[in-house]
Amino acid sequence: MIKYKHEFMTFRQEAFIMGVVDYILGGVILLFALVIIAVILLQEGRSKGISGTIAGGADTFMSRGKAKAVDAILAKWTKVIAIVFMLLVVAANVVSIYF
């Protein structure tokens, strides 16, 4: 009678499968880390200082509105990607502990 689902596998097979799962989760976490870094770097800074005031004088009303819309979209995506990243890290930790 099989008590656990892993009883029918040898240790070598189980270690191979867990190694593959670890590499896949690690690759996905690395990909999400790079994406979140890129999205954060694409966002415009909050305080421009005096140089932003001088350089921003040539901005038209429409271009400032577009910049705010793009910045709002990037801010939303930053939150979504950060939450998914955090859940992936917790899932990888659970998989490595319990399986």
Per residue in 17-30, pLDDT (tens digit) is 677 888 898 999 99
Q: H or E stretch including 24?
A: helix 11-42
Of residues 10, 11, 32, 20, the one with CA closest to residue 88: 32
- Give the distance, in angstroms, between the CA of residue 66 and the centroid of all CA atoms in the same chain: 25
> Which has more confidence, 64 or 49?
64
pTM over 0.75: no
> Which has more confidence, 32 or 59?
32
